[in-house]
Amino acid sequence: MALPISLLKESHENFWLPEGYYLALQFEQGWLVVMITGAEPSNMRPFSLGGVSADGNLSAWNEVKDSSNRKYLEPIKEAFIKHIFWGVSPAKAKVFFQYPSRADRWSLIAVTRSITEDIGYVNGEMSPFDGPFSKKSEIFTVYQLYPTFNIHNPTNDRMVDVKLNFEVMTYTYKIITDKKLIEQFLSGEKRIRKHTVGGIDPSPATCPDWLVKLYKHGDENLFKFTRDLGY
């Protein structure tokens, strides 16, 4: 007998990072290492994407924003990092993902997949609206960096309202600039949570300029230092 999905997946709450924990985010430029100094939970349930016609998709990629163009998944200022999991309803709705916006993810091959194909999506059976959420839905965002979503309805009936459910933890953080400590974290000598922002294909997301300028040891660019380490 098949086990219920809730018994097969670990809760997203087990992946939140406590204060004092270290996090390494891989960008196109290299690894950023920070220490979490504070955390605050929030959620958005539901976020409506609207109706989707049979065998159709949204007319435009959705940035998950309010009527004043404020993006819910982007931190409101440089001092915050957001950690996000999400699920979708109805169960058959296929969610396609760009991160950053206009950078398609999960294509598998060099040719970008169509949002009407069976490649590179998450649906409500993989990551249900009420959870448990798929690890594939996990996102970290920083100021000026955010994802976008599109939907494909693979059924023969119109989906009246496709909805996303977001669970969000907002962190404050301290940037680590001690080169020896960074090497110990990236080599695995010290415990740290690692995450590639966006994904590896075609490349991780590009780190915003404001954060690149902060990530220095004296005059040395620490992104270059982490690349040279080779981890």
Residue pLDDT, tens place only, 179-223: 999 999 999 999 999 999 999 998 999 999 999 999 999 999 999
pLDDT at 8: 54
CA atoms within 13 A on the CB side of 209: 0
pLDDT at 1: 47
Residue pLDDT, tens place only, 127-142: 999 999 999 999 999 9
The residues of the chain scoring below 50 in pLDDT are 1-3, 5-7
User: Which residue's structure tokens are 């000598």?
Assistant: 189
Q: What span, in angstroms and rounded, lies between the C-alpha atoms of 92 and 126?
A: 10
Can you give the residue ranges of every domain in the chain? 5-229
pLDDT at 7: 46
